[in-house]
């Protein structure tokens, strides 16, 4: 369940920060940490491309997610990479038996994350990375969680621009 007051406060805070001086790493780290409670998910992380167009982990709400983000890069497989490569949302609702991610899925489940939702960070044709939301239980996000996930991915994209 979404905390409406916390979601509104977070949206206002990040909108205000956009028109002020900010440190990108700090903003993305703060965003990942805040999304956990606002969207009622187990955690959130952000992956971005570097100057060589390689995807890299930049922020996470906790160490487990950092390891899972790094694992996707190591395996060259996972929802976050797919969102980045296709510029489309990837909604992996049950990693216990998701045929899309045969190597990543079981390792995520072993780490206690049974679902992941990845949103591309993109503007027109250019994709910068992905925002990733993890859950400890299988199942879909509700419509409001999914919409807010997309809104926060758009906000993160604006910071990158």
- Secondary structure of residue 30 in the 3-state scheme: helix
Residue 57: burial class (beta carbons within 10 Å; 0-12, 13-18, 19+): buried
Distance CA 145, CA 119 (A): 12
Average pLDDT over residues 9-17: 77
Question: What pLDDT score was predicted for residue 110?
Answer: 95
Distance CA 38, CA 147 (A): 13
Question: What pLDDT score was predicted for residue 161?
Answer: 66
Q: What is the pLDDT of residues 104-132, one digit of tens each?
A: 999 999 999 999 999 999 988 889 899 99
Q: Which of 147, 158, 77 is nearest to 119 (CA)?
A: 147
Q: What is the pTM of this model?
A: 0.85
Question: What pLDDT score was predicted for residue 1?
Answer: 67
Q: What is the pLDDT of residues 14-54, one digit of tens each?
A: 777 777 777 777 777 777 777 787 888 998 888 888 788 87
Average pLDDT score over the chain:
86
- Secondary structure of residue 36 in the 3-state scheme: helix
């Amino acid at each position: 369940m979404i905390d409406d007051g916390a979601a509104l406060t977070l949206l206002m805070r990040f909108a205000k920060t956009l028109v002020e001086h900010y440190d990108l790493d700090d903003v993305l780290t703060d965003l990942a940490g805040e999304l956990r409670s606002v969207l009622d998910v187990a955690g959130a992380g952000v992956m971005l491309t570097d100057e060589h167009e390689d995807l890299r982990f930049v922020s996470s709400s906790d160490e487990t997610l950092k390891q899972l983000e790094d694992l996707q890069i190591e395996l060259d497989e996972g929802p976050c990479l797919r969102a980045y490569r296709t510029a489309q949302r990837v909604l992996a609702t049950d990693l216990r038996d998701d045929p899309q991610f045969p190597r990543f899925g079981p390792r995520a489940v072993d780490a206690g994350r049974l679902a992941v939702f990845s949103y591309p960070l993109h503007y027109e044709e250019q994709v910068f990375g992905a925002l990733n939301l993890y859950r400890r239980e299988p199942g879909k996000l509700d419509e409001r969680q999914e919409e807010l996930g997309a809104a926060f991915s758009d906000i993160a994209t604006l910071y990158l621009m």
